[in-house]
Amino acid sequence: VPKIYRMRLFAKNKVLAKSRFWYFMKKLNKAKKSGGELLAVNELFDNGPTKVKNYGIWLRYESRTNTHNMYKEFRDVTINGAVSQMYSEMAGRHRAHPNTIQIINTATLKASECKRDHILEMHDGKLKFPIIRKMPLVAKKMRSTFQARRPMTFVR
């Protein structure tokens, strides 16, 4: 009886997901594409994509000099959004290419499990954001494309 392996991967499309699967199978289990077959490729969706959650991502990436392990936290409505944020941040802060990043584990975190300051500061129940550019709506007949004076961009 052949063994069945299951893996949760993050990829842009099915072709890349299959490629990533065989990449990890070769590394972890000495199994090649020629010696196996894929039974199914399914896209997973979050069950509550309307609520913001905290996500922890454990990853490994290759820099120009070495391989590094890392743990990062993100706030997003879906795990896919959090992984997209992670890829963008790794590209910006560490110049890491997406193909050098290996996601080891992902988890949805409770507020008490979060460690990073930029996530913890969002847990305050009295958190408020200022409305900076609240401009009163001008009546349609009073509007004009060009005006002689600058607009007021704040409310008195």
Could you read off the pLDDT of 90-118 as tens digits, one per residue? 999 999 999 999 999 999 999 999 999 99
pLDDT tens for residues 4-45?
Answer: 999 999 999 999 999 999 999 999 998 999 999 999 999 999
The predicted model scores a pTM of 0.79
With cut-offs at 50, 70 and 90, classify the pLDDT of residue 153.
low
pLDDT single digits (tens) 117-127: 999 999 998 98
Query: At residue 50, what are phi and psi to the nearest 5 degrees?
Result: -110, -10
Residue 132 above 80 pLDDT? Answer: no
Q: Tell me the average pLDDT across 61-71.
A: 96
Q: What is the reported pLDDT for 155?
A: 65
Which has more confidence, 11 or 131? 11
Query: The tokens of 99 are what?
Result: 């193909």
For residue 53, list its beta bridge partners: 76
Give the pLDDT confidence of 134-144 residue by residue, as tens digits. Answer: 667 788 888 88
Element (H, E) at 90: helix 79-94
- Determine the Cα–Cα distance for residues 21 and 4; give it in Å rounded to an integer: 13
CB 17 within 8 A of CB 11: yes
Distances, alpha carbon 36 to alpha carbons 4, 18, 23, 44, 106, in Å: 10, 12, 13, 23, 27
Q: What is the DSSP letter of 74?
A: E
- Supply the pLDDT for residue 156: 61
